[in-house]
Structure 1
Amino acid sequence: MLWGPSMVGYGEAHYRYATGREGDTFRVGFAPRKAKLSLYGLQDAPRWEELSARLGKFTTGASCVYVNKPEDIDLEALAELIADAWAAGVAG
C-alpha cells in the first residue's frame, strides 16, 4: 500500500506516544529515494544487532535504514531482518 507519494508499506500498526499523540503507520516498508533506498520498521526488530552486523554497507537515521543500492547489502540478511521485524509486530 502507498503511504504518501513514495512510501510503500506493508501491514498496519497503531502507535501512541507518552504525550498522547497517536496514529497509524505501516509495520515494515521502503521508499525508493533519489540518493538512497530508505527501509522502515527494521531497527526495533528483536534481532537487529545480530542481523545488521551481517547486512553490509548501510547507514541509519532516526527510524530508517539507508542503503545506496541493493548490491551493497546481503539480501538474505535483509530478508531475515524483515521477517523478524514483521513477526515482532514492529511498526515503521
Structure 2
Amino acid sequence: MAAHVVYVLECADGSLYTGYTTDLERRVDEHNRGVGAKYTRGRTPVEVVYSERYESKSAAMSREYAIKQLTRAQKERLVGLEEA
C-alpha cells in the first residue's frame, strides 16, 4: 500500500486546504484538534474531500504542489464539489 498521501480538506468556512502526510487519519485528527497546519486552526472542523496515494514522497510532494497551483474552481472540479 502506498505510504504517501496528498489530501484536500474542506474547512468549516468552506475553504479548501491541500496537504501531505504518511498517516491521513492521524493528520486529519491533528487538524481538527487545532495542532495541524496554522491555516486550519481557526477553520475546524475539517473533512477530507479528496486524497491520492503515492509510492514515493517526491511524487506526492510534486502532486501536492501541483494541486496548490490550481484555481479554486479547478480544485472544486478535482474533488467533486462542482460539476464539470
TM range (shorter): under 0.3
**TM-score normalised to structure 1 length:** 0.26
Q: Which has the higher strand share?
A: 1
Scaled by the length of structure 2, what TM-score is found?
A: 0.28
Structure exhibiting the larger radius of gyration computed from Cα positions: 1
Q: Which has the higher contact order (CA 8 A, sep 6+)?
A: 2
